A and B are shown apart, each in its own frame.
Chain A
Amino acid sequence: MRPRRALPALLLVVLLLGAWELYADFSGVQSAVLPAPHEVGTALWNGGAVLWRNFAVTAEEVVLGLAIALTAGFALAVAMHMVPLLRRAVYPLAVGSQAIPIPVIGVLLVFWWGFGVLPKLIVVALICFFPVLVTTADGLAGVDPEQLKLMRTLDASRWQSFRLAELPAALPAALSGARVALAVGVIGAFIAEVATPTTGAYPGLGRQILADAGPNFQTPRAYAGTAILFAFAIACFYALALAERRLAPYRTRTSGEPL
């Protein structure tokens, strides 16, 4: 991200923060309902160790959960592409899985995998694999038929045809899916934390935000935590966008380029 390219976004942030500050200061809304940006900033500063150590827990869940989600989503899409029967069997269930209210299965996940980080990773993966699955499956199906014909003419094996024609064709779509997954990964970790029990002094930023917004009654710090998640989602998204330029440079620049 070049500095000058980030300028419009930064300007917009400053503008929004200014409007928020004015609204919070002059509309009479209580700090417990909507804290002013300067209060959030103070909470961010004073929250220090507690916020960052909880963030570290959440960041681990996001990164590992996304790793599982990207791998599983991609692998499942390839498998479905190779075996049409599998596609017909699994696709509807994959769609349905997105409607599962996670708290319902929270107890079950813990019953199976205990109180560690694994149940949380499963939740993140469950939420994030879907966009990768759909976009990759579409990308694989959308390969230019002429290319496949050419592969056959050249007597390519199924694997060669996949590696040289279908995979490169699917990669841009798969990466779009990964970007969506990365953007929802952070809220996925929040849901995971809120839906499963936890041990230890640092249960993650999601838990902390929920406690601060509710029983701890520290709304400014809840917003400070939210600001961290907000920034982290952006960071994850652009980290992948950077990688994408190198992984799929042949992707058309005009369409979905975020920066």
Chain B
Amino acid sequence: MRTSRLPRRPHRRAIVPVLSAAVCALALGACGSKQDAVSAKSTKPFTVMLDFFPNADHAPLYEALDRGFFRQVGLDVKPVAPAEPAEPLKLLAAGRVNLAISYEPELLLAREQGLKLVSIGALVQRPLTSIIALPGRHVGSVAELKGKRVGTAGIPYQSAELHTALEHAGVSPSSVREANVGFNLVPAMLSGQVDATLGGFWNYEAIQLRLMHKHPVVIPVDEAGVPTYDELVLVVREQEARHDGEDLRAFLQALSRGERAVKADPEAAADAVMAANPSLERKLQLESIRQTLPATVPSEAGKPYGWQSPSAWEAFGTWMFDHGLLHGMPIRPGYLTPYTNEFLPGQGI
């Protein structure tokens, strides 16, 4: 239903401006809605919910889309951007999407809430979350956070990361004031509300600040004493992992081809990301794509793209449990693990 009709009245002239405004808006709206390419009959719809709006982290996905890798394996992949970070896992569990990009800690929390979800691959192999400070605040190391005010996004596991980093540097957490600045981490720093932040990504906010010639100090949390984890993971329902293994294998195969394309031609990858989200700044995306590339290589040699290290998952799960973020150990005998490598190219049966 695209037209709204006003009550008919003798004075039609008056209705003309209203109606024409409505028609203009509708016509404009029609231009704005993205026309999906005609999908081949043989492809299966496959909705992927991103962790955030489309950005450099999703370069392999958009490259695979752009170059038709998904189509070649029979998947009609449609990316969706969430309204808030908890949404992807909720809508995945509700059966509205086929795969969700989320964060390893979020997945472990969701599983403890009873959502039957499992990660089938890592989009990014290590934490992107970092402690970031601007030079004027004299924070060159974690130890120098003593007595300072640190802005976070108010996410409990990130507060725990801050505590761990402080303890690791021999600083009493009580000597540091934590301020919840929501998602306005960079503005909070620039306006001087806080001396440093934890929550910004070294491959995003840090680059953004560098491009603004602000010379930020950047300390990724895994270099500050927090056990390493996979910042971005590809999550599906356990049920699908049991029954629709072929689709998942096909998805990961196409995605790893996308990743190779990103590596071969980061400029083209930046164009693909820009086409998906034209409001971004290309320079930042390109730089972010380049700097993220090493973080997509598995830490263990000879493992395929997307590989999730069992020992790292074990260590990080234990850390979350030890910090009271989880009530039970996420990996324990007799329970399905929160991750599986069996759908990665060259793995499984």
- Let me know if A32 and B29 touch, CB within 8 A: no
- Let me know if A32 and B190 touch, CB within 8 A: yes
- Let me know if B31 and A56 touch, CB within 8 A: yes
- The B-contacting residues of A in range 44-90, CB under 8 angstroms, are 49-50, 52-57, 59-64, 67, 71
The CA of A71 and the CA of B49, in the complex, are separated in Å by 34
- Let me know if A198 and B94 touch, CB within 8 A: no
Q: Which residue of A lies closest to B6 (CB)?
A: A243
Q: When A60-B29, A63-B25, A197-B81 are in contact, do A215 and B204 touch as well, CB less than 8 Å?
A: yes
Q: How far is the CB of A119 from chain B (nearest CB, A)?
A: 10
Q: Does residue A110 face the partner (Cβ distance < 8 Å to B)?
A: yes
Q: Which residues of B contact A61 (CB under 8 A)?
A: 29
Of A62, A111, A114, A216, the residue contacting B279 (CB under 8 A) is: A216
- Let me know if A199 and B83 touch, CB within 8 A: no
Q: When A243-B6, A243-B15 are in contact, do A217 and B186 touch as well, CB less than 8 Å?
A: yes
The listed residue with most A CB atoms (<10 A of its CB), out of B2, B15, B22, B186, is B22
A-B residue pair count with CB separations less than 8 angstroms? 153
Q: Which residue of A lies closest to B276 (CB)?
A: A201
Q: Is the interface of A mostly helix, strand, loop or mixed?
A: helix
Q: How far is the CB of A120 from chain B (nearest CB, A)?
A: 11
Q: Which residue of B lies closest to A247 (CB)?
A: B9
Of B33, B53, B190, the residue contacting A30 (CB under 8 A) is: B190
- Let me know if B96 and A202 touch, CB within 8 A: no
Q: Which residue of B lies closest to A63 (CB)?
A: B25
Q: Does residue A151 face the partner (Cβ distance < 8 Å to B)?
A: no
The listed residue with most A CB atoms (<10 A of its CB), out of B15, B28, B83, B94, is B83
Quick one: CB contact mask for A114-141 with B, threshold 8 Å, 1 for yes?
Answer: 1101000000000000000000000000
B84-92, B119-127, B250-258 - the one binding chain A = B84-92
- The A-contacting residues of B in range 274-332, CB under 8 angstroms, are 275-281
- Let me know if A239 and B18 touch, CB within 8 A: yes
Q: How far is the CB of B46 from chain A (nearest CB, A)?
A: 13
The listed residue with most B CB atoms (<10 A of its CB), out of A55, A195, A201, A212, is A201
Q: How far is the CB of A136 from chain B (nearest CB, A)?
A: 13
Of B17, B29, B205, B276, the residue contacting A56 (CB under 8 A) is: B29
Q: Does residue B164 face the partner (Cβ distance < 8 Å to A)?
A: no
Q: Which residue of A lies closest to B15 (CB)?
A: A243
- Let me know if B28 and A56 touch, CB within 8 A: yes
- Let me know if A197 and B18 touch, CB within 8 A: no
- Let me know if A111 and B4 touch, CB within 8 A: no
The CA of A218 and the CA of B208, in the complex, are separated in Å by 11
Q: Which residue of A lies closest to B192 (CB)?
A: A30
- The A-contacting residues of B in range 1-40, CB under 8 angstroms, are 2, 4, 6-7, 9, 11, 13-15, 17-18, 21-22, 25-26, 28-34
Quick one: CB contact mask for A133-173 with B, threshold 8 Å, 1 for yes?
Answer: 00000000000000000000000000000000000000000
Question: Closest 5 CB pairs between A and B?
Answer: A60-B29, A246-B14, A56-B28, A67-B4, A200-B34
**With A197-B87, A201-B278, A215-B183 given, can you name 15 additional A-B contacts, CB distance below 8 Å?**
A32-B186, A32-B190, A56-B28, A63-B4, A63-B29, A106-B83, A106-B84, A111-B91, A111-B94, A199-B34, A201-B277, A212-B279, A217-B212, A243-B18, A247-B9
A-B contact pairs, 29 of them (CB 8 A): A32-B190, A53-B32, A56-B29, A56-B31, A57-B32, A59-B28, A60-B33, A61-B29, A63-B4, A63-B25, A64-B2, A67-B4, A67-B22, A107-B90, A110-B91, A111-B96, A197-B49, A197-B87, A200-B33, A201-B275, A201-B277, A213-B184, A214-B183, A215-B55, A217-B208, A239-B21, A243-B6, A243-B17, A246-B9
B-binding residues in A (CB < 8 A): 30, 32-33, 49-50, 52-57, 59-64, 67, 71, 103, 106-107, 110-111, 114-115, 117, 194-203, 207-208, 211-219, 221, 235-236, 239-240, 242-243, 245-247
